[in-house]
Amino acid sequence: MKTKFPYLGAEKKVTEEMCDLNGHMNVTFYTKIFEEGSYDLFNKLGMGFDYIESGFSTFTLEQNLRYVKENLLGDKISTHYRIVNVNRKLIHHVGILLNNDNELSAIEEILLIHIDMEKRKSCPMPDENFNKINELLLEHKVIFFRDQPLTSEQQILLAKKFGPLEKHAYVKGLENFPEIVRIKKAPEEKHQWGETWHTDVSYNPKPTKVIILKSVKIPPVGGDTMFSNMETAYDTLSDEMKEKIKDKKAVHSSLGAEAFVKKYKEMEGNGNLDEYSNIHPIVRVHPETGKKILYVNSMYTKQIIDMDKDESDKILKELFLHQERLDFTCRFKWTENAVAIWDNRSTLHQGLTDFFPGRGLGHERVMDRIAVEGDHPN
């Protein structure tokens, strides 16, 4: 439960003052505790007391509080939060209250609107608040936003905040927006672009930094995307394996690139079928966080340098299986106009193909992808 609500708020003890005639914490204190507990979350978003003094704040549009389990005198309780959705004007977040035994006691869901206090009207958040998105991205590796009907121009402007944009080596972009690759699976196709665990274009000398993927058309069932945390993957390797791969490098190759356009009938190639190959460290250091990352993937990593092929294959197979552990992963269920932003340096991802005709689920799936140029892995 706590991993799904990563922001710890207040930790309190139920006092006699907080209890009513029924001998448990009165409803008025639930709202107070949730509000006070959220201060740290809003400080992380750059919206603390200094922000309010600058002339901006938020008003509550909707609030829903559900009581699950009573809290008695002397009980220790704690609040935990997660952000569900953010856009230029609205913040949607959920908090939970846990008791002594880490049991769910209450749930609060709030929708806030950003306010210019001088005009006392809603207004877009300043750009510096959007810089906090990058901080959240580095912390959580992937962040999701629902109900974002972005135009292509808006999606490009958002992506440019993370750095220069890159064009795909093999796939043609949209006619008027060549930076955007439209990932399209026809209803009769059994395969989907990106259906194997991978890091985007790791065969490049400077693999992609950030991906922004927006849903255009989604199937009524299936087609989720899974993400795996490669920082955690490295941290949980055995000491023996860490020693085996220490200072080792591996070849990443786009061999078989024609599959990008020939295997998927709805994907249009740009005429390039050249193979690209580059050598990267198996353990790279994140350029912004300094954390170690397991940097291999089953789609593009071919062989460990200065190692017998049989031994290389054995080690890589073990690493690939380790990367797929469910406890490293999250799974995102797409809805229309949802946006996923992920750090391509520290994650793997795969699009699940569980809606093709062989299972009676012949549906179309259309997504718009933008990639931000990365750096040389070190």
Phi, psi angles (nearest 5°) of residue 225: -120, 135
Fold of 2-125: Thiol Ester Dehydrase; Chain A (3.10.129)
The most distant pair of C-alpha atoms in the chain lies apart, rounded to whole Å, by: 76
Pair 180, 370: CB distance under 8 Å: yes
How confident is the model over 96-113, as pLDDT tens digits? Answer: 999 989 999 999 999 999
The continuous run of DSSP H or E covering 168 comes out as none
Q: Which of 295, 269, 296 is nearest to 168 (CA)?
A: 269
Compute the distance between CA of residue 371 and CA of residue 369 in angstroms, rounded to an integer.
7
Indicate whether this model's pTM tops 0.75. no
Residue 360 confidence (pLDDT)? 45
Fold of 145-372: Double-stranded beta-helix (3.60.130)
C-alpha angle 119-125-131 in degrees, rounded to nearest 5: 155
Residue 70 confidence (pLDDT)? 95
Name residues whose C-beta falls within 8 Å of residue 203's C-beta, 6 or more positions apart in sequence: 252, 253, 254, 276, 277, 278, 300
> Helices then strands (H, E): number in the chain?
9, 20
> Domain residue spans in the chain?
2-125, 145-372
Phi, psi angles (nearest 5°) of residue 36: -65, -35
> pLDDT means per 10 residues in the chain (378 residues)?
76 95 95 91 80 89 94 95 79 92 94 93 79 79 88 91 90 92 84 86 95 94 92 97 97 78 71 88 95 96 95 97 95 92 96 67 87 95
How confident is the model over 249-298, as pLDDT tens digits? Answer: 999 999 766 666 666 666 777 778 788 999 999 999 999 999 999 999 99
Question: Hey, which bits of the chain come out as E strands?
Answer: 7-13, 56-67, 76-86, 90-98, 104-116, 121-122, 142-145, 165-166, 181-185, 210-217, 225-229, 249-253, 277-281, 283-285, 292-294, 301-304, 329-332, 339-343, 347-351, 365-372
Compute the distance between CA of residue 198 and CA of residue 342 in angstroms, rounded to an integer.
13
Residue 188 confidence (pLDDT)? 77
